[in-house]
């Protein structure tokens, strides 16, 4: 099948598979607090350690393309009460964990973590660490907006054990930054990168996006050229997710300005080729890393994992997420916190886990999740072990045979491998395994396009 026919066939709305089951397919009934506590207690293993995610939702200015859960405000008076709520939520967990937690991974996401003053972040992290042990080999990182990250932020977090930063770049071109209402300069990106390296951060990631309004191949070429000099260790090269029915701010620009279908795919292919020429290796979906980076090493070791934040080098099984809208994972269940900040704070204040929805896994979910993670992290999966099969495999086989006929995968007995042609279509390959989707296909718009 030619590239354009493949694109026509597979560029449909598909989940990004940061979880399985995907959020729209979680159980409709909420997960009771007691049930969640029991799952967390079961998943807790002192020596395996836990991952922590902390959602810091505030930003000073709205970037109109943004799909994240955030609150726009210039009032920094919100910092202290929000941090107090996070620490209260952490204490709810501590009261219920069967032992002292060992923290192996910590990620500050948002919104904009660097909206918070470094002293507030210091109070937060020290408050968390006071009741936990810290593993000898940790993965601590944070999302840094280039226009609000100061040297003091980098120093404070370095002193707390952070060695990885993820800088939101998206694109360098002023006309693109303007149309998406993003305030930042190239000099700021360069400055943050230099400070991080001087201080001893070992992994600098840049978030880039292809498919932004007005973006052309020339923009991708320019961006990649600038990377040659700055040489970030990792790159997240995201496909712009256009979901204006969920994020109305994306209506601020005209859809006519969006590169779509083959034009969007060409931006990805150009970016990928230029990155590979510079020595970056593609990791799963959307990510690239230098062979010296931990993400690449974990892919080689076979420990690469994917969760709600994207790819991580470690899989701790228990991942506790604090803050409004964040999602925790006990490996056999997910729960999501209240998205509204005030409701989140009220719930924690009253001594309740601020959970609004969740999903406890069936045996079948667990099997499907394993295959989807294998495809996303290892470009292949194997179902020769009967414990990795379900009654649904008959249907799955029919769907993957079609993928094989189109050249996206190769099936060998009871295993499959993604081909080079299939890599841009990883989401579609996972979809073939997504039992819940096929049992109840969405009536309305739920997901962004595959490309």
Ligand X SMILES: C[S@@+](CC[C@H](N)C(=O)[O-])C[C@H]1O[C@@H](n2cnc3c(N)ncnc32)[C@H](O)[C@@H]1O
List contacts with ligand X (CB under 6 A).
59, 65-68, 109-112, 143, 145, 168, 170, 207, 209, 238, 240-241
Quick one: 68 or 72, whose CB is closer to ligand X? 68
Contact 142, 108 (CB under 8 A): yes
Quick one: 107 or 436, whose CB is closer to ligand X? 107
Quick one: 183 or 222, whose CB is closer to ligand SF4? 183
What residues between 305 and 364 interact with ligand SF4 by CB under 6 A? none
382 vs 375: CA distance, rounded Å: 10
380 vs 411: CA distance, rounded Å: 10
Quick one: 70 or 219, whose CB is closer to ligand SF4? 70
Consult the annotation and say whether 404 binds a ligand: no
Q: Is 60 exposed, middle or buried (0-12, 13-18, 19+ CB in 10 A)?
A: middle
Answer with the entry of ligand X, ligand SF4, none that 165 interacts with (C-beta below 5 to 8 A by kind).
Answer: none
Consult the annotation and say whether 63 binds a ligand: yes
Contact 57, 313 (CB under 8 A): no
183 vs 172: CA distance, rounded Å: 11
Consult the annotation and say whether 409 binds a ligand: no
172 vs 208: CA distance, rounded Å: 9
Consult the annotation and say whether 112 binds a ligand: yes
CB closest to ligand X, residue no: 168
Shortest Å distance, C-beta 142 to ligand SF4:
13
Cα 134 to chain centroid distance, Å, stands at 23
Coil, strand, or helix at residue 140?
strand
Shortest Å distance, C-beta 303 to ligand X:
24
φ/ψ of 410, rounded to 5, equals: -120, 130
- Residue 59 in contact with ligand SF4, rule: CB under 6 A: yes
Task: Give the alpha-carbon dihedral of 193, 195, 197, 203, to 10 degrees.
Answer: -50
What residues between 108 and 147 interact with ligand SF4 by CB under 6 A? 110-112, 145
Coil, strand, or helix at residue 344?
helix
149 vs 153: CA distance, rounded Å: 6
Quick one: 61 or 346, whose CB is closer to ligand SF4? 61
To which residue do tokens 């300069």 refer? 185
Shortest Å distance, C-beta 217 to ligand SF4:
24
Give the total of residues touching ligand SF4 (CB under 6 A): 11
Contact 360, 32 (CB under 8 A): no
Cα 325 to chain centroid distance, Å, stands at 14
Answer with the entry of ligand X, ligand SF4, none that 258 interacts with (C-beta below 5 to 8 A by kind).
Answer: none
Answer with the entry of ligand X, ligand SF4, none that 62 interacts with (C-beta below 5 to 8 A by kind).
Answer: ligand SF4
Shortest Å distance, C-beta 246 to ligand SF4:
14
Shortest Å distance, C-beta 247 to ligand SF4:
10
Q: For 223-268, give the DSSP string.
A: HHHHHHHH--SEEEEEEP---TTT-GGGGGS-GGGS--HHHHHHHH
Host H or E run for residue 341:
helix 341-349
Consult the annotation and say whether 241 binds a ligand: yes
Which of 16, 39, 55, 70 touches ligand SF4 (CB under 6 A)? 70
What Cα–Cα distance (Å) separates residue 332 from each residue in 27, 71, 142?
13, 31, 26
Answer with the entry of ligand SF4, ligand X, none that 209 interacts with (C-beta below 5 to 8 A by kind).
Answer: ligand X
Which of 7, 14, 52, 63 touches ligand SF4 (CB under 6 A)? 63
Shortest Å distance, C-beta 240 to ligand SF4:
12
What Cα–Cα distance (Å) separates residue 243 from each residue in 8, 13, 17, 282, 437?
19, 10, 16, 26, 19
Residues lying near ligand SF4 in the complex (CB under 6 A) are found at 59, 62-63, 66, 68, 70, 110-112, 145, 168
Residue list for the binding site: 53, 59, 63, 65-67, 110-112, 143, 170, 182, 207, 241, 327
Residue list for the binding site for S-adenosyl-L-methionine: 53, 65-67, 110-112, 143, 170, 182, 207, 241, 327
């Amino acid at each position: 099948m030619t590239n354009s026919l493949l694109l026509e066939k597979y560029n449909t709305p598909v989940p990004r598979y940061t979880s399985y089951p995907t959020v729209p397919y979680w159980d409709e009934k909420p997960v009771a607090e007691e049930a969640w506590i029991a799952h967390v207690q079961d998943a807790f293993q002192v020596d395996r350690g836990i991952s922590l995610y902390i959602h810091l939702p505030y930003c000073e200015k709205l970037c109109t393309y943004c799909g994240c859960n955030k609150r726009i405000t210039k009032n920094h008076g919100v910092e202290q009460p929000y941090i107090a709520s996070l620490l209260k939520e952490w204490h709810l967990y501590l009261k219920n964990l069967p032992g002292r937690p060992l923290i192996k991974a910590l990620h500050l996401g948002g919104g904009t973590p660097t909206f918070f003053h470094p002293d507030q972040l210091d109070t937060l992290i020290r408050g968390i660490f006071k009741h936990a042990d810290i593993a000898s080999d940790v993965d601590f990182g944070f999302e840094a907006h280039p226009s609000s990250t100061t040297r003091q932020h980098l120093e404070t977090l370095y002193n707390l054990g952070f060695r990885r930063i993820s800088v939101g770049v998206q694109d360098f071109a002023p006309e693109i930054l303007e149309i998406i209402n993003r305030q930042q300069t190239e000099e700021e990106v360069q400055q943050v990168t230099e400070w991080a390296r001087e201080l001893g951060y070992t992994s600098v990631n840049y978030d880039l996006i292809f498919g932004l309004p007005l973006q052309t191949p020339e923009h991708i070429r320019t961006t990649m050229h600038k990377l040659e000099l700055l040489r970030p260790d990792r790159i997240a090269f995201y496909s712009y997710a256009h979901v204006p029915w969920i994020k109305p701010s994306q209506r601020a620009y005209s859809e006519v300005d969006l590169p779509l279908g083959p034009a969007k795919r060409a931006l990805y292919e150009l970016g990928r080729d230029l990155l590979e020429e510079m020595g970056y290796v593609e990791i799963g979906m959307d990510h690239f890393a230098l062979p010296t980076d931990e993400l690449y090493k974990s892919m080689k070791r076979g420990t690469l994992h994917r969760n709600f934040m994207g790819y991580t080098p470690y899989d701790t099984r228990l991942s506790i997420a604090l803050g409004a809208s964040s999602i925790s994972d006990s490996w056999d269940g997910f729960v999501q916190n209240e998205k509204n900040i005030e409701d989140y704070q009220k719930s924690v204040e009253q001594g309740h886990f601020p959970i609004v929805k969740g999903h406890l896994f069936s045996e079948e979910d667990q099997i499907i999740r394993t295959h989807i993670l294998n495809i996303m992290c290892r470009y292949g999966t194997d179902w020769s072990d009967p414990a990795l099969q379900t009654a649904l495999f008959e249907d799955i086989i029919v769907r993957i045979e079609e993928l094989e006929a189109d050249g996206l995968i190769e099936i060998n007995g009871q295993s499959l491998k993604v081909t080079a042609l299939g890599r841009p279509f990883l989401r579609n390959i996972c979809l073939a395994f997504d039992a819940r989707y096929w049992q109840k296909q969405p009536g309305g718009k739920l997901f962004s396009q595959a490309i």
